[in-house]
Structures are given as structure tokens and as C-alpha cells.
């Protein structure tokens, strides 16, 4: 007798592209242009190995020369450098008991399928913050850090994020500051800016949430931002981003698994424990999330791909682009009491 199975409802060939698209739709980092999906990175994520090497040519330098009829022009050379990105392999499994679904009067596995996009969007932003922590821990990123927080004495407007201190932070990118598109901050920072009437809001339309702007940059609010306590002061971290500061590539291959049940793949695998009456859905992803111009070294990488803790370590990163081409500025500051 034929019956409809979970593997008939959630088909890997359909579910994988949908999950990738839904994750991008729900990620504010992607929607704001901070994280830029890139077909070239899709292709690299589909290659083998743990690290993708990305050589590039350095810009031309030196002054031009005056031409005369006695001395030939001198020659210069162009040098090559290399960027490198880690290929991430992440997974999550959910299990549902038949009885739980019967008592709930709904299909919990269907709900899990619908909610994976939101789950991976949150995890993508958490991984982004871990990456930024490691990137800004390296000494060569010091020129992209605008530290205005107070360590002693009384705080003043000079220690807060305001229109004036934003301009100073923006200047860290020099003539590339016009490329900034977004600013991400803790919810308490956004509240402090609203009290100063510095947040502009575009009303919601067509069932879409309202969009907030600060100094012309799209505002992303996430309490995953670091809040440190230094000498009893709460110190907040806020980031400015240029378009495509982080590159994203997804392995879109449907990868078969030897010996797995029909309908299962490496990307989306089903497991059934008949005696317990439970079904598990295992979702795996292989992708690249990389800050352009900061090379992944993987010095402390213990497994096939790095953890968020390893991403947050300065020993694993090396800036290889010119500072202003990295397109990220970090601000550490206080907020009014």
C-alpha cells in the first residue's frame, strides 16, 4: 500500500534551493548589501578542499615620468598577492515524535521545514559577528578601528555614536567612504540614536517590515553585537559596511549519500526510528562566508572547517588588501545613561 512519507514532502532537489533563497531573503546582512551572494564563490564552494585560494594583482604604484629625448623610461613591475577563504560545513538536525504531532494537531516536521530559512539567517549573522571579532583583533586592522569609548572619568558626547563621531569613523575609509551602505548596531544603541532623532524610518509596505536609516546608511539591529564592561562602563560595538564587504557562496550541488534511504542526500537526510516513532531531519550546508581582503590562515583550525570560536581568533586572519578596500569600520563607544 502506497503512503506519503516525509521524504515525499521535503524533496532535497526542491528544498535546498528554496532554503538558500529563503535564508538570503530573511538575512538583513544580505538584504542590506553587506553580504553579497556571488556566483564565483558558489563555484568555489562546490570545489573540493577546505580552503579556497584567491590570487590577485596588486595595484600599480610609483610616479609617472617626464619623457625626453635622452633618457628612456624606467620600468616597474606588477606584483601578485593572495587572499584565501575557508569553506564552511555546518549542519543541524531536528527530531519529531509521531505522538507529539498527533497531540498538537499539526505537522511539526512541516513547521521545521518552513522555519529553516529563519534559523540559517540567524546563524549566518552570528557567524558574521564571529568573523568580524577575529578580523578586528589583528594589528593590521587598527586603522579601521574608531575607538571613542571612555575608560575613565565622565562620558560625554565625544564617547557616543552621533552624527559627528560617525563622520570621523566614516573617514577611516578615506575616499572609499562613499561606498558605505549599512551600519549594524545593538538595539540599545539604536534606541539612544532615536532619542537624538537621528534615525529615519521608511514605513512598512506590502507586508514588508519598516527600514531604518542613520546618516543615509541602512540600520541593522542585532543584539549579537558585543557589549563589554570596561571599568564599569558598557562599551558597545557598531560596524560600518561597504557593499559586498562579505562574500557569500553556496555549494548548490545535490550530493548523494551511499546507503541512505531513498530521497535522502548529504544536504538533506532523513532518519527514522520506528520503535520510538520518531523522524529526524538533518540539514547540512557547505558554503563560503568571507570578508573580502582578509586572508583566512586557519592556524588553529582543528576540524575540516572552522568553528565560530576559531573565526573569532586573531591568529587565523591576515589583511591582504589595502585598508580602505576591506570596506569595514568598527566603532567602540558608550551610550548616554
Question: Which residues on neighbouring strands pair with residue 95, listed in sequence order?
Answer: 280
The Cα–Cα gap between 139 and 298 comes to: 17
Q: Beta partners for 227? A: 236
CA dist 101 → 1, 108, 269, 277 (Å): 23, 6, 20, 11
pLDDT at 54: 84
Q: How far apart are CA 299 and CA 294, in angstroms?
A: 14
> What is the SS3 assignment for 67?
coil
∠ Cα 255 277 111 (to 5°): 60
Phi, psi of 61 (to 5 degrees): -130, 180
DSSP H or E stretch at residue 61: none
Considering the domain 11-54+79-84+91-333 in this protein, what is its CATH number?
3.90.1690
pLDDT at residue number 90: 96
> Residues 187, 188, 190, CA angle at the centre, nearest 5°?
65
**Helix locations, the chain, DSSP H:** 6-9, 12-26, 28-31, 39-45, 98-104, 108-135, 163-170, 187-195, 308-311
**How many CA within 13 A on the CB side of residue 23?**
23
Question: Does residue 25 sit in helix, strand or coil?
Answer: helix
Q: How many residues does the chain have?
A: 337
Q: What distance in Å separates the CA atoms of residue 272 and residue 181, rounded to the nearest whole number?
A: 47
pLDDT value of position 10: 60
For the whole model, what pTM was predicted?
A: 0.85
Taking a C-beta distance cutoff of 8 angstroms, is the pair 333, 149 a contact?
yes
Tens of pLDDT, residue by residue, the chain (337 residues): 343 344 445 667 777 787 888 888 889 999 999 999 999 999 999 988 889 998 766 777 788 888 888 888 887 877 777 899 999 999 998 887 665 554 455 555 566 667 888 899 999 999 999 999 999 999 999 999 999 999 888 899 999 999 999 999 999 999 999 999 999 999 999 999 999 999 999 886 665 778 999 999 999 999 999 999 988 899 999 999 999 999 999 998 988 887 766 667 888 887 777 777 777 888 899 999 999 999 999 999 999 999 999 999 999 999 999 999 999 999 999 999 8
Neighbouring-strand partners of residue 284: 91
**How much is the pLDDT for 206?**
61
Q: Which of 216, 165, 131 is nearest to 334 (CA)?
A: 165
- Tell me how far apart the alpha carbons of residues 255 and 305 are, in angstroms, rounded to a whole number: 18
Would you say 85 and 51 are in contact if contact means Cβ atoms under 8 Å apart?
A: yes
Amino acid at each position: 500500500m502506497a503512503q506519503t512519507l516525509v521524504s515525499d514532502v521535503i524533496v532535497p532537489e526542491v528544498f535546498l534551493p528554496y532554503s538558500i533563497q529563503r535564508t538570503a531573503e530573511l538575512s538583513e546582512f544580505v538584504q542590506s548589501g553587506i553580504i553579497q551572494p556571488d556566483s564565483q564563490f558558489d563555484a568555489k564552494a562546490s570545489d573540493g578542499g577546505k580552503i579556497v585560494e584567491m590570487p590577485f594583482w596588486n595595484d600599480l604604484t610609483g610616479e609617472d615620468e617626464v619623457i625626453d629625448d635622452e633618457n628612456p623610461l624606467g620600468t616597474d613591475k606588477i606584483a601578485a598577492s593572495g587572499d584565501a577563504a575557508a569553506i564552511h560545513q555546518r549542519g543541524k538536525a531536528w527530531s519529531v515524535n509521531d505522538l507529539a504531532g498527533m497531540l498538537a494537531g499539526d505537522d511539526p516536521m512541516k513547521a521545521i521545514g518552513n522555519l529553516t530559512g529563519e534559523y540559517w539567517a540567524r546563524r549566518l549573522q552570528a557567524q558574521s559577528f564571529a568573523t568580524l571579532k577575529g578580523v578586528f583583533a589583528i594589528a593590521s586592522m587598527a586603522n579601521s578601528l574608531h575607538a571613542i569609548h571612555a575608560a575613565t572619568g565622565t562620558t560625554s558626547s565625544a564617547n557616543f555614536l552621533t552624527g559627528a563621531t560617525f563622520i570621523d569613523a566614516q573617514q577611516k575609509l578615506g575616499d572609499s567612504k562613499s561606498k558605505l551602505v549599512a551600519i549594524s548596531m545593538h538595539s540599545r544603541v539604536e534606541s539612544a540614536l532615536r532619542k537624538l532623532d537621528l534615525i529615519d524610518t521608511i514605513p512598512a509596505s506590502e507586508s514588508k517590515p519598516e527600514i531604518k536609516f542613520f546618516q543615509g546608511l541602512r540600520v541593522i539591529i542585532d543584539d549579537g553585537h558585543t557589549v563589554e564592561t570596561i571599568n564599569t562602563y558598557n562599551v558597545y560595538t557598531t560596524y560600518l559596511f561597504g557593499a559586498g564587504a562579505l562574500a557569500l557562496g553556496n555549494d548548490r550541488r545535490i550530493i548523494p549519500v551511499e546507503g541512505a534511504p531513498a530521497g535522502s542526500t548529504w544536504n538533506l537526510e532523513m532518519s527514522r526510528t520506528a520503535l520510538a516513532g520518531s523522524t529526524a531531519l538533518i540539514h547540512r550546508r557547505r558554503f563560503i562566508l568571507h570578508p573580502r581582503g582578509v586572508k583566512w590562515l586557519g592556524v588553529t583550525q582543528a576540524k575540516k572547517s572552522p568553528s565560530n570560536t576559531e573565526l573569532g581568533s586573531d591568529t587565523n586572519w591576515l589583511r591582504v588588501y589595502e585598508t580602505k578596500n576591506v570596506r569595514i569600520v568598527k566603532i567602540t563607544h558608550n551610550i548616554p545613561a
